[in-house]
Chain A
Amino acid sequence: MTATTANPSAPPATSGWGRRAAALRASTTGFVLTRLGQGTLTLLAASLVVWLLDVLAPGSPAQQVLSSEGIHNPSPAQLQEVSEQLGLDRPLIVRYLSWLGHAVRGDFGTSYISGNPVRAELGSRLGATLILAGAALLIVIVVAVVLGLLAAAYASHWPDVAIRTLTVVCAATPAFILGLLILQVIVVKLGLGTVLADGSIHDVLLPALCVATGSMAVPTRVLRAAVIAAVDEKYAVLARARGARRLYVLIRHGLPNAAVPLVQALALSAAWMIAGTVVVESVFNWPGVGSYLITSLQQRDLPVVQGGTLLATLGYVLASLTADLVSGLADPRIRSTP
């Protein structure tokens, strides 16, 4: 594809270098637009599922609203009045589009329980969740790089086997169990850290470690495999033949070539991390979106559940999109993949 075919109105390129640059821009733009479109479609599909919660949940939303106001046995007139206020008498498609229009602007309605806007409720907790997720991501990166390199350096030897076993154990341990174990052993027995976290960076290590533990398996193994593959390439073999040390070859040649699969693996881990964050926040009393979502689920506070779920979906889509874009920019072959 050339710049001319991609954009007929553009002035013709005057040199080979210019044509290549224009083609690169066009393929990059197309790639970005395609991925953005896919992300938007995913969000739209998720929004429909999330909105259907409201329709399929037992009990009418009007009853939920009245129940939250202490009216547990409302009269038909009260139900009718609130139903009209909530627009429940409109056709489903109109209700969905209206809800979607508000959701796009970040308006998920009002919490049945607190009576505050869902956006404000989620917004006040988002910072704590981002701190937790960010810290967990940093731990995953550090551990994946260190363990992945070690496993690659000692491929098929006991350190490699031990690391692979460890990652399987970590991935298989439920975050809830691990969290309670950390609380009992590290906090209660050893007196390190805190049980009732305040959501700040000071208290983040233990809950972040808990979230990261289940997420580190895939990036570690992907990095190991990519590094092993890279050090078998001719340039790496040549470097070793020229006397370079094995560790130097691993870091200098293996690690950069493992960057793209590592970023993709990290994006895959984001899904687990989002789920893990919800559980870990509850165990550590972390005042983030996840623990709020669990409480809201228990209280059937549907507007909050809808807003929180869509927010989590958005987080996952953004993580995937970022991974795709970074990978695409780093490796032109990925841009041509539909």
Chain B
Amino acid sequence: MAGNSTGRRGRLFGAAAVATAAGTLLAACATSTSAGAASGARPTLKIAAVFLPSSLDPAKGIDAVFSFAETLTQTDDQGQAVPFLLASAPQQKTATKWLLTLRPGVTFQDGHAMTAQIVAAAMNREMKLSTEAQSDLPGALFTASGANQVTVTTPTQRNLLPYALADRAFAVYDEPVVAAAGSASAALVNKGVFTAPYAITSFTEKGMALTSYDKYWQGTPKLAGVQVTYVANAQTRLAAVESGQVDVADGANNPDIVEAVKGRSDVKLNLSDEPLLTLKLYFNPTTGPFTDTSVRHAVALALDYSSLATQYTAGTGSPADSLLPASLAQHVTSQSTDTTQAAALLDAAGWKAAADGTRSKDGKQLALNLLIYNERPVFKPLSIGIKTQLAKIGVTVNIVAQPFSYTMYDNASNWNLALYNDYSISPTGVPDSYMSTYLAAGGSGNHWHISDPALDALLASLNHATSEAHRKTYLAQIQHYVFDHGYLADVAFVRDGYAVNKQWSSFAADAGFQQQEWTWQTAPSS
């Protein structure tokens, strides 16, 4: 009996092993990649993306970087708002009334004409549902005032309306179709609700596919379509380009990727024209030594922003000397480095240096928690740079790295400094709305516990500026104020990076401030 049992088990084992080997062999044979056949004469652009749009409904906040929607105006590379789906620049009829003339001959991908009624309905839906739209043009009302004219009425004077209309929050779409389909992303696939050159034909958590809209108003798109695949891992994105599975990998301004492609001919790193990303250092004024304005200012003065930008961003960063990049007309030099003054400010505040260089007051060491998040790899070397620089004036820095969440800033007692990354001047090219959102007390983006009546007054004045000269004055005052009071310092302006293969070696994204990964003219180099 035992022998039979053992024999059966042995045979079973043998059979299992043979079956396994066969299965493995089968899988190995099936693993070879089948290259996708080119569809027609036009190629398809394949992108490995670091993230996907969170929604296809502009009211929920779409990401302009995926150019599946268009706006009435755009901001060019000079930072000027220019008409896009408008035939001409918005005309200011009175202090609170603007007239928009729509570009004739524009159709949605579903074939419907872009009429004043549809545009007004889309804009009013945005005003109702989108917090970004409400922040850009509070209380604005859009009314169709002719077949191709829309009147915008605002409660107060809004000189920056042409710029605000470039915000993705004011993307134009076929409102009746969206209203009928619902705002779920899946419901908007294959509906052709936008005017863009490529229409969305699939959208899942793995990626999105777009196909050419051949009746696009600027001309026939150069590509058959665009295929976007979500690839979270930076090294995997690069490997996808290297293996030829995709043409372009975004999010390649990662220091590891920059190093990996240096000096290579098969894969190249293309940086965006404008440094749209801003690496910001926020100061929490409500906790510990930072309740003292002079201590915050001292820390802001102790940092060498030029060195941080050049040494710790792998060549993708430009030094910041203000909240605005130098290419903008409103830029003023408001940030500086002065370690002598920084040390003097700390001495005056009672933080005295010991023999080992560290500073203490009432027996307590001057130590700060610097909060960073893991999703932005450049923060790690940058935080070490900040720690090294502040150590020179006796300030100890503890780096606290976490997965990103807005709630990480909620507990004010946990942190003193926070590195934060955003597109503060994109896509509209103006920082006004951003400043109020992120710096004003009660601003929806003010995670930093900043509450300063004098700053609030400056921001309110900026929002109600009636002339460009006034606006420029207030912007200059704000730039100086936030640095001198140690609320915010920009560490570097960083260019977006794209790893591209040979065929797409001239791929250039982000022309101007629009963050667009593709336009209707995007095509391979050869």
Contacts and interface: CB of A to CB of B under 8 A. Distances in A.
Interface in A284-302: 284-285, 287, 291-292, 294-295, 297-300
Interface string B204-238: 01100000000000000000000001111101100
B9 interface: yes
Among A72, A145, A208, A259, the one with the most B-chain Cβ atoms within 10 Å of its Cβ is A72
A182 to B, nearest CB: 10
B20 to A, nearest CB: 5
A interface, over-half SS: helix
Interface stretch (A21-29, A93-101, A192-200): A192-200
A245 interface: no
Contacts of A270: none
B17 A188 contact: no
B232 A259 contact: no
Contacts of B446: 73
A196 B229 contact: yes
A252 B61 CA distance: 67
A72 B236 contact: no
Contact of B236 (A71, A251, A283, A300): A283
Given A188-B243, A192-B31, A195-B245, A138 B20 contact: yes
Given A58-B408, A138-B20, A193-B32, A291 B232 contact: yes
A191 B7 CA distance: 44
A282 B232 contact: yes
Given A73-B446, A297-B403, A256 B23 contact: no
A259 B31 CA distance: 31
A70 B60 contact: yes
B31 A295 contact: no
A234 interface: no
Interface in A30-85: 58-60, 63-64, 67, 70-73
Contact of B27 (A204, A283, A297): A204
Among A142, A191, A282, the one with the most B-chain Cβ atoms within 10 Å of its Cβ is A142
Contacts of A330: 9
A164 interface: no
A183 B446 CA distance: 42
**What's the interface size class on A, roughly?**
35 or more
A298 B242 contact: no
A114 B205 contact: yes
Contacts of B113: none
A298 B374 contact: yes
A204 B25 CA distance: 12
A287 B204 CA distance: 11
Nearest to A140: B20
Interface string A187-224: 11001111110000111111010000000000000000
Nearest to A183: B239
A171 interface: no
Given A72-B444, A188-B239, A202-B30, A298 B17 contact: no
B450 to A, nearest CB: 12
Among B61, B235, B236, B447, the one with the most A-chain Cβ atoms within 10 Å of its Cβ is B236
Contact of A194 (B206, B230, B245): B245
B407 A63 contact: yes
B58 to A, nearest CB: 12
Contacts of A310: none
Contacts of A141: 16-17, 20
Contacts of B155: none
Contacts of B6: 252-253, 256-257
Given A71-B131, A299-B403, 6 more contacts: A58-B408, A59-B407, A180-B239, A195-B239, A196-B240, A202-B30
Interface of B: 6-7, 9-10, 13-14, 16-17, 20-21, 23-24, 27-28, 30-33, 48, 60-61, 131, 205-206, 229-233, 235-236, 239-240, 242-243, 245-246, 374-375, 403-408, 410-411, 442-447
